[in-house]
Chain A
Amino acid sequence: EVQLVESGGGLVQPGGSLRLSCAASGFSFSSYGMNWVRQAPGKGLEWVSGISGGSSHTYYADSVKGRFTISRDNSKNTLYLQMNSLRAEDTAVYYCARGSDGSGQIALDIWGQGTMVTVSS
């Protein structure tokens, strides 16, 4: 079964850091681009960051550029999101999502259940 399982969310103070993980199973992880997408409470979906299968290309939304770092360990089938200098507006459920093909530009076809990040003092 193709599956993505996020972990690492929690409560953090403004200015703090958190690292999210996404464990993948059921498919050839290194063959797919991966992404992080977030959803603030009661709001819509916002793409955060993406990374190519071999890590050669990374992409970031302007709202997180310079604060968040996406990475992956293909030997562990795991995607990461290092989040620094966190702000209240980063509070959201964070989903990892697979790009449906090698380009990663056609669709986000598999989604995890999400992990909640709350930034508050």
Chain B
Amino acid sequence: QAGLTQPPSVSKGLRQTATLTCTGNSNNVGNQGAAWLQQCQGRPPKLLSYRNNNRPSGISERFSASRSGSTASLTITGLQPEDEADYYCSAWDTSLSAWVFGGGTKLTVL
């Protein structure tokens, strides 16, 4: 099952802004929108946002998401050391009747 496309790595400095991208198609990101997950080393994934820019309770406003067509983006402002993690986008694919994930972006905070 084809997955979503994410850049493997992004590096940014402390207190800078990072924008992570995720490209799918009209059956997944372009249809249902994307959900973003953060996975810190050795931990399970944690939901950061869904339906493009809805945040679960407790998630910092420094995390914001958007979508343009079949490409979703996650923007993290004021980068902190604890933001260093792997970030995955996900979406339900209506053609496959399956969840699809991006390969993940490793964010390094310099």
Contacts and interface: CB of A to CB of B under 8 A. Distances in A.
Contacts of A105: 32, 92, 94
A100 B49 CA distance: 11
Contacts, number: 66
Given A44-B88, A45-B88, A106-B35, A111 B101 contact: no
B92 A44 contact: no
A113 B51 contact: no
Contacts of B98: 47, 50, 59-61
Interface stretch (B15-23, B39-47, B68-76): B39-47
A100 B99 contact: no
Question: Interface size for chain A: under 10, 10 to 19, 20 to 34, or 35 or more residues?
Answer: 20 to 34
Contacts of B94: 105
Interface string A18-49: 00000000000000000101000000111100
Interface residues of B, number: 25
A107 B44 contact: no
A111 to B, nearest CB: 4
Contacts of B35: 106-108
A46 B101 contact: yes
Interface in A62-121: 62-63, 95, 97, 100, 104-114
Enumerate the 6 nearest inter-chain pairs by beta-carbon distance, A residue then B residue, closest first: A107-B50, A105-B92, A47-B99, A107-B35, A111-B44, A44-B104
10 contacts: A44-B101, A46-B101, A47-B101, A105-B92, A106-B92, A107-B50, A107-B90, A109-B50, A110-B47, A111-B46
